[in-house]
């Protein structure tokens, strides 16, 4: 059930009390002296007053039953032509339904901000355009620049130093410092687990760097740690994978 606002309830009680106070003196003086209130006093349109009189006469069985519809129609036309519409606001006796029923049950009065868009077509179209651009760039670049391929591998001759591709040089560098189980499983596994747990540890939805210090620090340490290992394995390891100074002993790394 719809809850009626308190100010409307008080207004209805005051109007009911006024009506009872006004009806009390009329009942004491007798039915002959009592006269129906005028339209200005009751604030009820004339056609409604005439319709009420006709209904009372019909109920009592008086002689005005036949003339009631015509009188009501005449009064309605007169009220429409001469009397303005009933006033609206605190002084009126009529109430709109929307003033009683809460607005939340009819419509959503608060706009919900939408900070998300659909994957299709917004994201997929952008990714597809980027993929086309990269493909075209690689095609044009490969026409004018040859890939730096080496000669065929000779399994009878192992190069010294034998280095892994640059993206594995960090792992190869760890193998020179720790046991293979530690360098190949434990340390990389701990790094991957920390990166997986980072979104659950730092749940701040902000995209500002100053509000995401934990996540940014974790990613920065991970990248710098791996980048340093790759740089050491690329430029500071010579024959036998021994530590050298590239500016003194030369560069044993092919791009």
Render pLDDT for 44-54 as a digit per residue (tens, 0 to 9). 777 777 888 88
Tally of CA atoms within 13 A in the half-sphere of 191 that contains its CB: 15
Alpha helices of the chain — where are they, by DSSP H?
A: 6-29, 39-42, 46-60, 68-82, 124-144, 169-175, 180-181, 187-201, 213-235, 246-249
Shared domain check, 87 and 143: no
With respect to residue 26, please indicate whether it lies within any of the assigned structural domains.
yes
With respect to residue 16, please indicate whether it lies within any of the assigned structural domains.
yes
Query: Roughly what angle, to the nearest 10 degrees, separates helices 68-82 and 46-60?
Result: 170
Question: What domain count does the chain have?
Answer: 3
With respect to residue 37, please indicate whether it lies within any of the assigned structural domains.
yes
Shared domain check, 87 and 52: yes
Shared domain check, 94 and 28: yes
Q: Does position 115 have pLDDT exceeding 50, yes or no?
A: yes
Distance CA 163, CA 168 (A): 9
Of 11-20, 54-63, 68-77, 220-229, where does mean pLDDT reach its minimum? Answer: 68-77
Shared domain check, 156 and 142: no
At residue 63, the pLDDT reads 47
User: Across the chain, what does the average pLDDT equal?
Assistant: 77
Distance CA 239, CA 218 (A): 34
Domain range for 175 is: 151-249
Greatest mean pLDDT among 36-45, 112-121, 152-161: 152-161
At residue 52, the pLDDT reads 82
Structural contact between residues 238 and 252, judged by C-beta atoms closer than 8 angstroms: yes
Buried b (16+ CB within 10 A) or exposed e, 153-174: eeeeeeeebebeeeeebbbbbb
With respect to residue 188, please indicate whether it lies within any of the assigned structural domains.
yes
pTM greater than 0.75 (yes/no): no
Q: Does position 173 have pLDDT exceeding 70, yes or no?
A: yes
Shared domain check, 14 and 64: yes
At residue 202, the pLDDT reads 87
With respect to residue 127, please indicate whether it lies within any of the assigned structural domains.
yes
At residue 64, the pLDDT reads 46
Q: Long-range contacts made by residues 67-76, C-beta under 8 angstroms, separation at least 24?
A: 72/47, 74/50, 75/46, 75/47, 75/49, 75/50, 76/46, 76/47, 76/50
Structural contact between residues 76 and 68, judged by C-beta atoms closer than 8 angstroms: no
With respect to residue 254, please indicate whether it lies within any of the assigned structural domains.
no
pLDDT band at 41 (very low <50, low <70, confident <90, very high): low
At residue 24, the pLDDT reads 63
Shared domain check, 15 and 93: yes
Domain closes at, from 105, 137, 169 = 105
* Residue 199 neighbours by CB under 8 Å, 6+ apart: 215
**Mean local confidence (pLDDT), 165-193:** 91
Shared domain check, 211 and 197: yes
**Mean local confidence (pLDDT), 169-183:** 91
Using a pLDDT cut of 70, give the percent of the chain over it. Answer: 69
Shared domain check, 155 and 66: no
* Residue 26 neighbours by CB under 8 Å, 6+ apart: 33, 34
At residue 27, the pLDDT reads 53
Alpha helices of 68-123 — where are they, by DSSP H?
A: 68-82
User: Backbone phi, then psi, for 243, in 5-degree steps?
Assistant: -75, 125
CATH of residue 165's domain is: 1.10.287
With respect to residue 255, please indicate whether it lies within any of the assigned structural domains.
no
Shared domain check, 176 and 232: yes
**Mean local confidence (pLDDT), 149-157:** 82
Of 72-76, 109-113, 145-149, where does mean pLDDT reach its minimum? Answer: 72-76
At residue 146, the pLDDT reads 85
Q: Does position 224 have pLDDT exceeding 90, yes or no?
A: yes
Shared domain check, 65 and 140: no
* Residue tagged 């077509």 (tokens): 121
Distance CA 105, CA 252 (A): 76
Of 19-33, 108-122, 189-203, where does mean pLDDT reach its minimum? Answer: 19-33
With respect to residue 1, please indicate whether it lies within any of the assigned structural domains.
no
SS3 (DSSP) at 243: strand
Shared domain check, 155 and 227: yes
Provide the 10 A C-beta neighbour count for residue 87.
11
Q: Does position 110 have pLDDT exceeding 70, yes or no?
A: no
Chain segment 193-216, per-residue pLDDT in tens? 988 888 888 888 888 888 888 888
């Amino acid at each position: 059930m719809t809850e009626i606002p308190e100010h409307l309830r008080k207004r209805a009680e005051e109007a009911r009390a006024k009506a009872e106070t006004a009806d009390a003196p009329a009942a004491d003086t007798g039915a002959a002296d009592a006269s129906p209130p005028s339209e200005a006093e009751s604030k009820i349109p004339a056609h409604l007053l005439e319709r009420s009189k006709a209904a009372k006469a019909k109920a009592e069985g008086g002689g005005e039953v036949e003339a009631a519809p015509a009188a009501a129609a005449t009064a309605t036309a007169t009220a429409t032509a001469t009397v303005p519409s009933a006033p609206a606001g605190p002084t009126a006796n009529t109430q709109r339904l929307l003033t009683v029923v809460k607005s939340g049950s009819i419509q959503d009065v608060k706009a919900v901000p939408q900070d998300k868009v659909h994957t299709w077509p917004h994201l997929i179209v952008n990714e597809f355009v980027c993929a086309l651009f990269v493909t075209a760039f690689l095609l044009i670049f490969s026409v004018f620049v040859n890939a730096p391929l080496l000669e065929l591998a000779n399994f009878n001759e192992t190069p010294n130093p034998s280095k892994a591709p640059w993206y594995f040089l960090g792992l190869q560098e760890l193998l020179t410092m720790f046991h293979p189980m530690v360098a190949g499983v434990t340390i990389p596994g701990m790094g991957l687990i920390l990166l997986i747990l980072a979104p659950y540890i730092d749940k701040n939805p902000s995209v500002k760097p100053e509000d995401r210090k934990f996540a940014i620090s974790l990613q920065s340490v991970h990248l710098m740690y791996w980048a340093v290992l790759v740089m050491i394995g690329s430029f500071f390891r010579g024959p036998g994978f021994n530590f050298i100074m590239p500016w003194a002993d030369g560069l044993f790394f092919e791009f």
